């Protein structure tokens, strides 16, 4: 059993980091009904900003904050492209992600190692559980902030914007403002995840964000399958996704099939959901 | 609802536990297990893997068990594999192919030895600092030599176009060295960046219009789209020089690292660490052997001849 525990710790750590992106996807795709591709780009941007900051002797927590701000600005640009220039949602995200690649490379470089620069984890190297506890508390704290925010007036209007824009307009609130706001928050979250991942793994790569979106989407769909409160479920969804990936690694599945497995996982979740819906409808009818 | 989550979580954890218990045999004394983490599937990386496996089997015989993993280009996947490796106590040494793989392993494995191949700049990546457990074979081509041969082969060239993806670390490092070497020989240069395979054609077009030769570093993006570069350069009658080998026809000169041999070198380092018990930091990083291939067809096409001084060091194709 000794070899089992570190695997689980690793799964939980990566699960908590992934949870921020799952929350970002949930906020953009589900709450705002805005499928934002730029979330993949801001993961890289956040990492690049954090890597640059750490190599310039910035406090690691401040570096994360800077990463978040950079992600927020990027989200704001995606929002403005859509609301002000009328660019299609998907295209706006793709345009921004494309631009972010250049921005990230110029900030962080194609691949840099942090070396001995202090990170939020470097003080905790003595205990194997300290990093996990730190990540868990960060993920929980962010989840609770969002749970609280959704109950405020601003959060309520934000939710309403995704459901019924006309209703929000009739309240005299600006729909573009709330769309942009949700994208700022989603992309700040993704950049935060990117920044944490860089500090966790000790290096930044311009290609580090490849496949983030699909992993987070799978996490988000698993979360919806078991939903009570989505922000808490984001943690579980992300962890369960990492669990499944860990199983495929342990099974030594031929790695070239792994992307197919992620895709199939999403299809399976959709099928399960469809079946559940039928069951509920069936019982109501009876 | 919470029952369902619990059931799902427990189910998955049980599967994981079962897999780990079944798949991982107890560390046996008469076997040596080696974990290989490959960053992605590219021909040079595959060659490094093949070279390593055949050499380590030759050195250690049937005693060696190999666990192969490939991150398929995903950094999070590389990290997940590294953490799975860390937990597998039966593995006594690790072989990392390309930069992200060695970085992921470095962050997880602190005590067991790691040998790498296909990494261009181990010093810049902080892989060789006090107390670390890493050594290996670089794939940094001898650019100085490459440019000196270029100058001998094409004495009339005044301007060279550099074609590469600015997003690849290896390319950026090599291009920097190429520029220094080119300046030394009084050749001017011009950058042509392609961020993805889709941009390669446009960048190559620009390159052939503005220079008398095209020089390409070890670049995965350009290498994967090389047929289009060859077409464009052929039409424009501009010779191409690559910093990798293995193209059947097209480049006037292919100057590259022998990746299979890099894998062999890494395997020898691994054997020294595992069998002879030498500490990784006491084993210096190994530089690659370069192979130079010159195309007969291209020589004819451009009316060139190989000077006698070069004849021994190059192979014709």
- pLDDT confidence tier of residue A210, bands split at 50, 70 and 90: confident
> ∠ CA(B152), CA(B232), CA(B191), 5° rounding?
60
- pLDDT > 90? residue B49: yes
Give the chain B residue nearest A108 (alpha carbons): B167
- pLDDT > 50? residue A63: yes
Higher pLDDT, A45 or B248: A45
**Does residue A24 contact residue A189 with C-beta atoms inside 8 Å?**
yes
The pLDDT assigned to B213 comes to 93
Q: Kindly indicate whether the domain formed by B27-139+260-288 is annotated with CATH number 3.40.50.1100.
A: no
The pLDDT assigned to A283 comes to 59
Q: Is A113 within 8 Å of B1 when comparing Cβ atoms?
A: no
Question: What is the mean pLDDT of the segment spanning A64-77?
Answer: 96
Domain that holds residue A35: 4-209
- pLDDT > 50? residue B15: yes
The pLDDT assigned to B198 comes to 81
Q: Is A101 within 8 Å of B166 when comparing Cβ atoms?
A: no
As for how many domains chain A has, the answer is 1
Distance CA A199, CA A122 (A): 9
Q: Is the CB of B88 inside 8 Å of chain A's CB atoms?
A: yes
The pLDDT assigned to B50 comes to 93
To the nearest whole angstrom, how far is the Cα of A16 from the nearest Cα of chain B? 13
Rg (chain A; Cα; Å): 19
Higher pLDDT, A239 or A69: A69
Distance CA B215, CA B92 (A): 42
- pLDDT > 80? residue A217: yes
- pLDDT confidence tier of residue A3, bands split at 50, 70 and 90: low
Chain B partners of A242 at a C-beta cutoff of 8 Å? Answer: 80
Name the nearest CA neighbour of B241 among B223, B261, B257, B255.
Answer: B255
pLDDT digits (tens, 9 = 90+) for A174-203: 999 999 999 999 999 999 999 999 998 888
Give the chain A residue nearest B166 (alpha carbons): A110
Pull the structure tokens for residue B22.
């079944």
To the nearest whole angstrom, how far is the Cα of B77 from the nearest Cα of chain A? 8
- pLDDT > 60? residue B37: yes
To the nearest whole angstrom, how far is the Cα of B17 from the nearest Cα of chain A? 7
Higher pLDDT, A251 or A52: A52
- pLDDT > 80? residue B249: no
Strand order in the sheet with B240-242: B188-193, B159-164, B213-216, B240-242, B253-257, B290-294, B315-316
> What is the four-CA torsion angle of B101, B107, B111, B117, rounded to 10 degrees?
20
- pLDDT confidence tier of residue A255, bands split at 50, 70 and 90: low
Give the chain A residue nearest B10 (alpha carbons): A240
**Does residue A4 contact residue B20 with C-beta atoms inside 8 Å?**
yes
To the nearest whole angstrom, how far is the Cα of B90 from the nearest Cα of chain A? 9
- pLDDT confidence tier of residue B114, bands split at 50, 70 and 90: very high
- pLDDT confidence tier of residue A286, bands split at 50, 70 and 90: very low
Question: What is the mean pLDDT of the segment spanning A61-74?
Answer: 96
For A172-251, where are the E strands, in sequence order? 203-205
Question: What is the mean pLDDT of the segment spanning A46-71?
Answer: 95
Q: Is B9 within 8 Å of A4 when comparing Cβ atoms?
A: no
Q: Could you say which of B24, B100, B195 has the minimum Cβ distance to residue A3?
A: B24
For chain A, where are the E strands, in sequence order? 111-113, 203-205
What is the count of residue pairs from A and B with beta carbons less than 8 Å apart? 152
Distance CA B253, CA B154 (A): 11
Q: Is A14 within 8 Å of B41 when comparing Cβ atoms?
A: no
In a domain, A284, yes or no: no
**Does residue A273 contact residue A226 with C-beta atoms inside 8 Å?**
no
Q: Rank A260-264, B174-178, B306-310 by mean pLDDT and report only the highest.
A: B174-178
Average pLDDT in chain A? 87
Name the nearest CA neighbour of B124 among B107, B105, B99, B145.
Answer: B99
The pLDDT assigned to A118 comes to 87
The CATH architecture of the domain made up of B143-242 is 3-Layer(aba) Sandwich (3.40)
Question: What is the mean pLDDT of the segment spanning A19-27?
Answer: 93
The pLDDT assigned to A125 comes to 67
Distance CA B116, CA B286 (A): 10
A 10 A CB-CB count for B93 gives 24
Q: Is A7 within 8 Å of B84 when comparing Cβ atoms?
A: yes
- pLDDT > 60? residue B1: no
The pLDDT assigned to A282 comes to 63
Q: Is A197 within 8 Å of B76 when comparing Cβ atoms?
A: yes
- pLDDT confidence tier of residue B28, bands split at 50, 70 and 90: low
Q: Is A250 within 8 Å of B19 when comparing Cβ atoms?
A: yes
Residue of B8, B67, B76 to mutate, interface with A, max A Cβ within 10 Å: B76
Distance CA A250, CA A165 (A): 47
Distance CA B83, CA A10 (A): 6
The pLDDT assigned to B102 comes to 93
Helices A89-108 and A38-55: angle between axes, nearest 10 degrees: 20
Give the chain B residue nearest A121 (alpha carbons): B107
Name the nearest CA neighbour of B154 among B223, B230, B215.
Answer: B215
To the nearest whole angstrom, how far is the Cα of A178 from the nearest Cα of chain B? 32
Chain A partners of B171 at a C-beta cutoff of 8 Å? Answer: 110
B186: which DSSP letter? T
Higher pLDDT, A104 or A207: A104
Strand order in the sheet with B32-38: B64-70, B32-38, B91-97, B114-119, B134-138
**Residues 3..42 of B with a Cβ closer than 8 Å to A: which?**
4-5, 8-9, 12-13, 15-17, 19-21, 23-24, 41
Distance CA B272, CA B274 (A): 6
Residue of A249, A258, A280 to mutate, interface with B, max B Cβ within 10 Å: A249
Compute the Cα dihedral for B89, B118, A201, B106 and give only its sign.
positive
- pLDDT confidence tier of residue A9, bands split at 50, 70 and 90: confident
Pull the structure tokens for residue B147.
């440019």
Distance CA B140, CA B136 (A): 12
Name the nearest CA neighbour of B195 among B171, B221, B173.
Answer: B221
**DSSP-derived 3-state class of residue B141:** coil
For chain B, where are the E strands, in sequence order? 32-38, 64-70, 91-97, 114-119, 134-138, 159-164, 188-193, 213-216, 240-242, 253-257, 290-294, 315-316
To the nearest whole angstrom, how far is the Cα of B127 from the nearest Cα of chain A? 8
Residue of A203, A236, A258 to mutate, interface with B, max B Cβ within 10 Å: A203
- pLDDT confidence tier of residue B117, bands split at 50, 70 and 90: very high
To the nearest whole angstrom, how far is the Cα of B26 from the nearest Cα of chain A? 11
Residue range(s) of every CATH 3.40.50.2300 domain in chain B = 27-139+260-288, 143-242
Residue of A2, A3, A45, A228 to mutate, interface with B, max B Cβ within 10 Å: A3
**Does residue B152 contact residue B132 with C-beta atoms inside 8 Å?**
no
Which has the minimum average pLDDT: B70-74, B241-245, B270-274? Answer: B70-74
Q: Is A236 within 8 Å of B9 when comparing Cβ atoms?
A: yes
Distance CA A192, CA A210 (A): 16
| DSSP line for A137-154 | HHHHHHHHHHHHHHHSHH
Pull the structure tokens for residue A200.
């966790």
Buried b (16+ CB within 10 A) or exposed e, B19-50: bbeeebeeeeeeebbbbbbbbbebebbbbbbe
pLDDT digits (tens, 9 = 90+) for A93-115: 999 998 998 899 889 887 788 87
* Alpha helix ranges (H) inside B70-212: 75-87, 99-108, 143-153, 169-184, 200-210
């Amino acid at each position: 059993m000794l070899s089992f525990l570190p695997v689980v710790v690793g799964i939980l750590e990566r699960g908590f980091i992934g949870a921020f992106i799952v929350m970002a996807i949930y906020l953009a795709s589900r709450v705002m009904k805005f499928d934002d591709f730029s979330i993949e780009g801001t993961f890289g941007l956040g990492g690049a900003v954090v890597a640059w900051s750490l190599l310039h002797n910035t406090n690691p927590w401040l570096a994360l904050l800077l990463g978040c701000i950079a992600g927020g600005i990027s989200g704001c640009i995606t929002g403005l492209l859509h609301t002000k220039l009328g660019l299609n949602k998907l295209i706006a995200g793709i345009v921004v992600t494309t631009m972010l690649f250049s921005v990230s490379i110029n900030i962080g470089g194609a691949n840099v190692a942090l070396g001995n620069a202090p990170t939020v984890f470097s003080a905790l190297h003595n205990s194997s559980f300290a990093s996990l506890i730190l990540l868990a508390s960060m993920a929980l704290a962010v989840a609770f902030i969002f749970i609280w925010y959704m109950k405020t007036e601003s959060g309520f209007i934000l939710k309403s914007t995704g459901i019924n824009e006309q209703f929000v307009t009739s309240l005299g609130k600006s729909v573009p403002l709330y769309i942009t706001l949700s994208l700022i928050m989603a992309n700040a979250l993704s950049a935060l995840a990117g920044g944490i991942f860089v500090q966790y793994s000790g290096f930044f790569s311009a290609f580090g964000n490849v496949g983030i979106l699909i992993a987070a989407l799978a996490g988000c769909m698993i979360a919806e399958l078991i939903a009570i409160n989505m922000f808490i479920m984001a943690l579980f969804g992300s962890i369960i996704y990492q669990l499944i990936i860990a199983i495929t690694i342990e099974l030594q599945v031929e790695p070239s099939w792994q992307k197919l497995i992620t895709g199939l996982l999403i299809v399976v979740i959709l099928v399960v959901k469809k079946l559940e819906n039928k069951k509920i409808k069936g019982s109501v009818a009876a | 609802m919470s029952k369902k989550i619990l059931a799902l979580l427990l189910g998955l954890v049980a599967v994981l536990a079962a897999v780990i218990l079944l798949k991982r045999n107890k560390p046996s004394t008469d076997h040596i297990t080696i974990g290989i983490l490959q960053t992605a599937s590219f021909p040079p990386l595959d060659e490094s893997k093949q070279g390593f496996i055949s050499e380590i089997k030759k050195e250690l015989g049937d005693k060696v068990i190999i666990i192969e993993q490939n991150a398929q280009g995903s950094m999070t996947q590389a990290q997940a594999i590294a953490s799975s490796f860390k937990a597998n106590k039966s593995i006594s040494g690790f072989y990392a192919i390309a930069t992200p793989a060695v970085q992921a392993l470095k962050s997880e494995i602190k005590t067991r030895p790691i040998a790498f191949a296909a990494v261009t700049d181990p010093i810049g990546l902080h892989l060789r600092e006090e107390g670390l457990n890493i050594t290996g074979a670089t794939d940094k081509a001898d650019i100085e030599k490459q440019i000196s041969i270029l100058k001998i082969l094409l004495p009339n060239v005044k301007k060279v176009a550099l074609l590469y993806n600015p997003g690849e670390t290896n390319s950026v490092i090599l291009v920097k060295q190429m520029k220094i070497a080119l300046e030394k020989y009084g050749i001017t240069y011009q950058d042509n960046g392609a961020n993805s395979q889709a941009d390669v054609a446009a960048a190559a077009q620009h390159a052939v219009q503005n220079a008398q030769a095209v020089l390409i570093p070890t670049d995965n993006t350009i290498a994967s789209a090389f047929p289009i570069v060859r077409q464009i350069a052929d039409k424009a009658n501009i010779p191409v020089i690559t910093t990798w080998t293995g193209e059947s026809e097209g480049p006037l000169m292919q100057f590259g690292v022998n990746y299979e041999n890099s894998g062999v070198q890494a395997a020898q380092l691994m054997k020294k660490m595992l069998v002879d018990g030498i500490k990784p930091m006491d084993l210096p990083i190994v530089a690659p052997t370069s192979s130079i291939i010159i195309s007969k067809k291209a020589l004819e096409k451009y009316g060139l001849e190989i000077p006698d001084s070069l004849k021994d060091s190059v192979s014709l194709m």
